[in-house]
Amino acid sequence: MIDRATTRTRNNDHQSTEKEKDMTDKTLFKPYTLGSLTLSNRVVLAPLTRNRAGAGFVPGELAATYYSQRASAGLLISEATQISQQGQGYQDTPGIYTQAQIDGWRQVTDAVHAKGGRIFLQLWHVGRVSHVDLQENGAAPVAPSAIQAGTKTFVNNGFTDVSAPRALELDELPGIVNDFRQAAANAVAAGFDGVEIHGANGYLLDQFLRDAANVRTDAYGGSVENRARLVLEVARAVVNEIGAERTGIRISPVSPANGVSSSDPQAQFDYLVEQLDALGLVYLHVVEGATGGPRDVAPFDYDALRKRFKNTYIANNGYDLALAAARLNEGKADLFAFGRPFIANPDLVERLKTGAPLADFNPATLYGGGAEGYTDHPTLAEASAQ
């Protein structure tokens, strides 16, 4: 026989838990202060490569539509955008190093701002994750060391092995730093609210951080401090150009994306984050686990990074409403990045808020093409009106 008092207690506990969960969920949808910006909520559009730039690697009207459709996110982070031709690794990805590209991105930022959104541009140099067909005069891609990545790239309308890279000369590194600095200035000229330095997913800056990709014996290789040197020089240059309140960075401490690995990720990234904090960057965007894969791919203490960084911590990888609400309630993160769920759900914030079902995307339309699978996903309101 079940005791009625026990039943009432259980019911009250359940109601209390549901109430607490409801309150926690709702805090995800309240405004948040990021530097000098007020975000409408804590949901972030993660960078998503879609390979739809036009001639001259210029984002067009489709991109303006795509981003404005998702402007209800508290913060939008653009697809990775190369800082130079040398920095390109995939076909039809946009750049931010010509006036035409700046003008193209201005259409995007105007469209997002017209809907009350906030948007940062992700600054990208792919390093060794490239192909000779994308490089000027068919040159070899560059890397910290002449070690070919065990990965593929999207070029000539298909996936193929990346090309063998050459090691960057010491006197070339200031030019890389300057390209990031100039790209940040160009982003501000294009109307972006700030920039995110791409230091994740096995691209150039991450390659310098990882000792399996970086076997240099000069000031940029060997020790934890040396391997972090280029990342910190880039961050300092961008901060000096556009201000710390407009500068964020993305890292992926244990992600094996694009064939990188590290023998000492905790020591490497604890040090890096301490130094980034000293520069006052507005946010730290962390891919927790394998990019687009298991969160527990390797042991790592993300709370250690959180403790070392006083400004905003953006958590990324495999988040849904329940996990985001739990991590927020625990004080483990401030903002939460959602990637693929945003592809087929331009109104993802509303769907999360109301508990509405999420639509699925078509994998065949992820990379390249036109409006199909890009700007033709209906919102809940549009779907109900059909």
The whole-number pLDDT of residue 26 equals: 65
Q: What is the mean pLDDT of the chain?
A: 93
44 touches 73 (CB < 8 A): yes
Q: What is the pLDDT of residues 17-66, one digit of tens each?
A: 444 445 445 699 999 999 999 999 999 999 999 999 999 999 999 999 99
The active-site residue, picked from 203, 271, 283, 302, is 203
The whole-number pLDDT of residue 172 equals: 98
Q: Which residue has the higher pLDDT, 385 or 253?
A: 253
DSSP label at residue 86: T
Number of domains in the chain: 1
Closest by CA position to 213, among listed 279, 272, 268: 268
Q: Is residue 215 part of a domain?
A: yes
226 touches 219 (CB < 8 A): yes
d(C-alpha 334, C-alpha 332), whole Å:
7
| Residue 16 tokens, joined | 């209390």
Q: Is the pLDDT of residue 256 over 80?
A: yes
d(C-alpha 227, C-alpha 268), whole Å:
8
Provide the whole-model pTM. 0.93
Q: Is 203 a catalytic residue?
A: yes
Residues 6+ apart with CB under 8 A from 23: none
DSSP symbols for 267-329: HHHHHHHHHHHHHT-SEEEEE-SSTTS-TTSS---HHHHHHH--SEEEEESS--HHHHHHHHH
Q: What is the pLDDT of residues 156-177, one digit of tens each?
A: 999 999 999 999 999 999 999 9
**Structural domain for 204, as ranges:** 19-385
Q: Is residue 191 part of a domain?
A: yes
Q: Is residue 213 part of a domain?
A: yes
Query: How many CB atoms neighbour CB 289 within 10 A?
Result: 22
Q: What is the pLDDT of residues 192-208, one digit of tens each?
A: 999 999 999 999 999 99
* 258-285 average pLDDT score: 97
Q: Is residue 236 part of a domain?
A: yes
Q: Is residue 7 part of a domain?
A: no
Q: What is the pLDDT of residues 238-250, one digit of tens each?
A: 999 999 999 999 9
We report the CATH number of the domain holding residue 44 as: 3.20.20.70
User: pLDDT tier at 384 (50, 70, 90 boundaries)?
Assistant: confident
- Residue 126 burial (CB < 10 Å; 0-12/13-18/19+)? buried
Q: Is residue 4 part of a domain?
A: no
